[in-house]
Structure 1
C-alpha cells in the first residue's frame, strides 16, 4: 500500500471515530459535543457569564448564545441577569441539565487530551506540526475551529447524520470555489 493511502486511511479513521462519538452522544443525551462542552463548563463554575463561557470553551459569544438558546428551550440551562450589574447575564444548569451531565459520556477530546499529555514534548510537537501541515494541505488551515472533536457546524441543533447529502453539499461548495 502506498504511504499516501495509509495517511488517508488514518484521516478517515479519525473522522469516523468523531462521527461515531457524535452519534453515541446524541443517542445517550440528545446533545451535540459543543452543547455538552458548554454544559460542562457551566457545571464546573455553577454559573458563568456569556463572555467567560465563550473564553472557557473557545467559541464566539454569538455561537454561545445560539447554543444556549437551544439548551434553554430544552430546559437544560437558564440565563438570568446579574443582581448587582443588570448588564451581565449568567448561565446556570437546571436540575434536568445536571442529570444530563451526569449521564453523558466523557467527551472524545478528554480521552485524547489525557493520552496526548502523557507523550514526550518532542512527540507532542511532532504531532502538532504534522496535523497543522495536513490541515494546510487540505486547505483547512484558515477554517475557524474550536478544540472540540465533532463533525458539523458548532451551533447546529443536533449532530449531522445524513453524511451522503452533507458530502454532496460540500462537493458542490468546493466546485463553486474552484470555479471562482
Structure 2
C-alpha cells in the first residue's frame, strides 16, 4: 500500500525536477551566450541589441530607442554611456527639439556590427516562428504559468535574452 502512495509522489518529484532542470538549462544557455559576447566581442547582450536596433532604424532619440527595445530610458542611457566611451555611438541634441537626444552609430561600430554575432533571441525567434501557431501558444501559456508560479509577474523585463544585475526584486512579495 505504501508503494502505491509513494509512486504518484515520486512521479510528481520527477516531473518537478525535470521542469527545474529545463529552467536551469535556459538560464545557463543565456548566461553562456552573455559570457561569450563579453569575452569575444566585449559587449553585453543588451548593448548588442541596442546597437542592432540603431543600425536597423537609423538615428533615434533615446526615448524612441528605449521604447523600441522595451527597456527603461534610464537603463538605455546608462548603456549608451558605456557604448559612447567605447566609441560605438555618438549622442547629440536634436536640432528640431533641443530636449531630445539623438543617438547615431559611429563608423567604428558599423564595422564591428558587420562581424558581430546575432543576439541570442534572434536564433530563438527564427526557430520559434517555424513552429505551428498552436505550439507557440502552448509554449507561451506554459511559460506564463511558470512566471506566475515563481511570483515574477511584477518584474519589468525586456524581450532580450541576457543575464545581468537585477536592481530590486523580492521573490517573496505578494506570496
**TM norm structure 2:** 0.84
Are 2:29 and 1:31 equivalent residues in the alignment? Answer: no
Q: Distance in 1 between matches of 2:157 and 2:57?
A: 24
Runs of 4+ in 1 over 6 A off after TM superposition: none
1:59-99 Cα deviation digits (max 9, x unpaired): 11111111111111111110011223222211011112112
Number of residue pairs the alignment of both structures matches: 161
Partner of residue 70 from structure 1, selected from 75, 82, 98? 82
Q: Which structure is larger by alpha-carbon Rg, 1 or 2?
A: 2
Are 2:108 and 1:57 equivalent residues in the alignment? Answer: no
Partner of residue 133 from structure 2, selected from 109, 117, 121? 121
- Aligned-residue CA RMSD in angstroms? 2.1
Q: CA deviation at 1:154?
A: 7.5
List gaps (5 residues or longer) in structure 1: 156-169
Q: Is the 8 A contact 1:25 1:33 kept in 2?
A: yes
| 1:128-139 equivalences in 2 (<5 Å) | 128-139=140-151
**TM norm structure 1:** 0.82
Q: Is the 8 A contact 1:47 1:91 kept in 2?
A: yes
Q: What secondary structure sits across from 1:39 in the alignment? A: helix
List gaps (5 residues or longer) in structure 2: 1-10
The aligned counterpart of 2:6 is none
